[in-house]
């Protein structure tokens, strides 16, 4: 297998990666045949997976614009993935050129590509770290130099928490991150769920199995379990809803049925 010039030497290009599969669903070019194979296998069960990813990105952009309009101009995007068109820093800095964005990911391709994309942008950075180790993120020099934790921050956890198993204490990680943020901060979150998928659960389960086989289990949580991540936050209207229903720019009725797979919400601390 040919290793592209952009692929860091340290990575095993024979093992699929969640963030490179996501890149493939979004039509990106930073993925390998092994990622495309796994993604296609998942799409055999859930052909609308690219629509789900597009709905995630569209929600994220609306939430970023909302945060800036509410006066929050610092963003901590954990599990940021491989940059594609319409990233957090592009949306935030278009709305406010002073906005600051810290991306965090543990995928080496995502980190390497982010460095290239962000070169010369003094108000955006990338940190190689893991959501499951909040102190490594909060205590890092990169975050310290870019983000003022004494001022409100929007914490973005978009399409990431469903890859954190209960054994790794996702609720503890989110609580630890949230506690470090100033009053008036926001939590912007999306999460996979069987609710809203336009398929029988046993069919969707086939796509979930593809991720399990990659040892990157996709944890489908209930609405109640997803709502628990917002403990300590006041939900912004319209609450925890399917992605196209969160402050839409266009009529949700025009969306692909798959766009309603999973839930999205924004919370704010007093």
Range of the domain at 72: 53-200+220-268
6 occurs within a structural domain: no
pTM of the model: 0.96
- Percent of the chain at pLDDT > 70 equals 100
The candidate with the shortest Cα–Cα distance to 160, out of 188, 191, 184, is 191
Does 207 map to a domain?
no
Kindly state the average pLDDT of the residues 37-47.
Answer: 97
Classify residue 138 by its DSSP letter.
Answer: H
Give every strand in the sheet of 234-235, ordered side by side.
Answer: 124-128, 100-105, 74-78, 154-158, 186-191, 263-268, 234-235
pLDDT digits (tens, 9 = 90+) for 70-100: 999 999 999 999 998 899 999 999 999 999 9
Q: How many domains does the chain have?
A: 1
In a domain, 44, yes or no: no
Report, as an integer, the average pLDDT of 135-162.
98
pLDDT attached to residue 8: 80
Cβ-count burial of 14 within 10 angstroms (0-12 exposed, 13-18 middle, 19+ buried)? exposed
Asked if residue 32 belongs to a domain, the reply is no
Please compute, for residue 264, the number of CA atoms within 13 A of its CA located in the half-sphere on the CB side.
25
Q: What is the DSSP string of 79-92?
A: T--S--SS-HHHHH
Is the pLDDT score of 172 beyond 70?
A: yes
């Amino acid at each position: 297998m040919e290793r592209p010039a952009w692929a860091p030497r340290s990575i095993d290009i024979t093992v699929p990666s969640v963030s490179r599969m996501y890149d493939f669903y979004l039509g990106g070019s930073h993925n390998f045949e092994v990622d495309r194979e796994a993604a296609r296998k998942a799409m055999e069960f859930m052909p609308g997976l690219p629509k789900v990813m597009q709905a995630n990105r569209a929600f994220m952009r609306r939430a970023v614009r909302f945060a800036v309009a509410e006066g929050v101009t610092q963003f901590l995007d954990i599990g940021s993935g491989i940059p594609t068109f319409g990233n957090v820093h592009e949306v935030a800095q278009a709305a406010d050129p002073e906005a600051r964005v810290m991306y965090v990911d543990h995928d080496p391709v995502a980190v390497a590509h982010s460095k290239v994309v962000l070169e010369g942008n003094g108000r955006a950075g990338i940190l190689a770290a893991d959501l499951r180790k909040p102190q490594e993120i909060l205590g890092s020099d990169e975050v310290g130099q870019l983000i003022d934790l004494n001022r409100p921050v929007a914490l973005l956890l978009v399409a990431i928490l469903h890859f954190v198993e209960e054994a790794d204490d996702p609720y503890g990680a989110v609580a630890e991150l949230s506690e470090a943020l100033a009053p008036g901060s926001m939590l912007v979150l999306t999460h996979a769920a069987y609710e809203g998928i336009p398929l029988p659960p046993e069919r969707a389960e086939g796509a979930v199995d593809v991720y399990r086989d990659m040892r990157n289990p996709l944890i489908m949580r209930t609405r109640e379990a997803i709502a628990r991540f917002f403990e300590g936050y006041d939900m912004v209207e319209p609450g925890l809803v399917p992605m196209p229903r969160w402050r839409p720019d266009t009529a949700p009725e025009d969306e692909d049925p798959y766009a309603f797979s999973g839930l999205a919400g924004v919370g704010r601390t007093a």
